Amino acid sequence: MKKIITRRSFIRTSAGIAGMSSLGIPYLAEAKATINLTGWAFAPELVRENLDRFESMVPGYKVKMMMFAPADFVTRMVALATADQLNDVLYVRAETLEAWVRAEFLQSIDEISGIEEIKEDLIPFVRQGMTVDNKLYGLPYYTDIQVLYYNKDIINKAGFDAPPKSLNELKNQCLKIQKLKLLEYPLVYGFKKAGWSNMDWWTSVFASGGRLFDDQLDPMFPARDKTALEVLNWMVDSVNKWKITDPASVELDVNQVRDLFGSGRYAFVMGHRYDESRYNNPERASASGNIKMGLIPSLDGTTHGTFGIVRMYSLAKNLSNKDGCISLLNYLGYKDTKGLYHTAANWYKKYTLGYGVKGLDSDPELQSIFDKYGNGSIKRKLASVAKVTELQRAPWGAEWESYNYDQIQAAISGGKTPLEALEASAKRAIELKKGY
């Protein structure tokens, strides 16, 4: 792939760049151009507030927002790129990063001044999610992890004073809850076919130290790494053999599961850390006050891991003003002129959007909020061991996920054994990879 900006020109540009606040280098004092920020429409009023602050700190630069509906975002961005109208600073999802890099929509930020310091500050899974071919293509906008949520009141009534660490402990706690007739189904998954259909399965595989694909994107399941098969066996048995998981899980999406759990209908669910603020709001979750956070139960109870989600700010191939764009990128995704992680901290304080830098773990104000909404040590632990899906590097990933979902459903419904389902999924992955 051709280099969009040469090393020499990028170094020359960045040597005097405004906004390299991580190194204490001042922003440029004079306006150079209008900068464009293109993203999806989430809390546009806060985006504008952050941009107004940037303009006040970098006198003369003006930032123009263009926000699309989240559901239309990828389609609209591809259309802009096709028309060669995609420029400046962009929101990017980790799932589309590889494809957009290959299509030359984006440029690496590896040559900007201070980048090694920034890389060291990134939480590992966040850096992983923004990297293609060992080059960094973004700075974090929003990150998230999957956590275990449990209803403390229910498990206490069942005689347990702590959440399960292993899948076997999860099974036993669910059986005890059922025996005492506290709940019909203590556990629920969100397996309805949608964008996040298989996240609970991926999460449990990662929690147990497993991998689905190797570095060449060849499937490791079900034979080379048996973790995925063991996890699926457990999930299938939880529905059909032990009957501790609500069979309606195959008909419920992640948002429906979230709301039902918040009403006190279940004892356990896996969900986004982002939902902690909802669960702590009695107007949105009637079980508020009893909902707590734990590590994801693993097969052996000692291994830890989870699924990580990454959204980033990136630089387009075309920049209307290099200095201004890189200044804005740093301000939004890293530090402001005062050396503060203002934008990331602001997003967390107002919307509990996860941050992507280790430096905020030592921010007293933010961490007091972090601990208020959930167990801060649990969140930091899971963030340190989270992984992004290996399929973000596969152009055929979405097509395979759709097929694999059908196989997971077939296993849960009894139409196939878990082994048959995963053998079919592995075969399909190999076919798709060859096709691309």
**The whole model's pTM is what?**
0.89
- pLDDT score for 370: 87
Q: Are 376 and 367 contacting, i.e. CB atoms less than 8 angstroms apart? A: yes
Task: Give dist(CA 202, CA 210) in Å, integer.
Answer: 9
- pLDDT score for 32: 57
- pLDDT score for 436: 86
**DSSP structure string for 79-114:** HHHHTT--BSEEEEEHHHHHHHHHTT-EE--TTSTT
CB neighbour list of residue 234: distance below 8 Å, 6 or more residues apart: 167, 171, 204, 299
Task: Give dist(CA 203, CA 271) in Å, integer.
Answer: 10
Q: Ramachandran region of residue 301, left (φ > 0), alpha (ψ -120 to 50) or beta?
A: left
- pLDDT score for 30: 52
- pLDDT score for 417: 98
The verdict on whether omega for the bond into residue 140 sits within 30 degrees of 0, i.e. cis, is no
- pLDDT score for 232: 98
Q: Are 362 and 73 contacting, i.e. CB atoms less than 8 angstroms apart? A: no
Pick from 135, 129, 165: which is nearest to 150 by CA? Answer: 165
- pLDDT score for 374: 84
DSSP-based three-state secondary structure for 130: coil
Tokens 């990150």 belong to residue? 143
User: What is the amino acid identity at position 182?
Assistant: L
Q: Are strands 306-316 and 139-151 parallel, antiparallel or unpaired?
A: antiparallel
Q: Can you list the residues of the chain whose pLDDT is less than 70?
A: 1-32, 196
Pick from 238, 241, 125, 149: which is nearest to 191 by CA? Answer: 238
Q: Are 410 and 416 contacting, i.e. CB atoms less than 8 angstroms apart? A: yes
Task: Give dist(CA 130, CA 100) in Å, integer.
Answer: 12
